Amino acid sequence: QYLERIECEYDQKISIDFYKEGDPLKPAVTGFLVFVSTPDPIGNKYYLGPAPLQYMARQIATANGPTGYNRDYLFSMEKALASISHEDDSIIDLANEVRKVLNRTKDTKITGANASLKSHAHYVFYYDLVSSPCL
C-alpha cells in the first residue's frame, strides 16, 4: 500500500520479469512491479510531454507529493548514481538546471502554473522524466 501511495500518479502498473546480464533465459526476479507513465492526458494529468530542459526543471523544482519534494528525489538519485560510478549526463544536467531554478527563486516564492501542483516527476528506468508527477 505504501508503494501504491507514493506512485499514485502512474497510470499503468505492470508486472515484468527481471533478467541479469548474460543470462537472458532465466529471470533473476519474476513478477517485478513497475509503475509506468503514459502521455494519456486523462490518466496522467501532470504529463509535461517532450519539453525543454528548463520546463522540466521548473516542474521538478516546484513539485511535491506524499513523500516530499521531487527535487529531493532527483538530487538523491544523482548522488546515488555517482556513488556507484554510474553518472548519467541527462540526470546531472537536469539536476543542475533545477538548482538554477531554485537559486533564482530562493528569496521569492515560486509562482506560476506548476507551483501549485501536488506532483512529482518520477524517473523509472524508462527515463520518462516528467510523466508521473506523484512521488
Residues with catalytic annotation?
7
Q: Are 50 and 121 in contact (CB under 8 A)?
A: no
Question: Residue 135 is placed in which grid cell?
Answer: 512521488
76 C-beta neighbours (distance < 10 Å), count: 12
7 C-beta neighbours (distance < 10 Å), count: 23
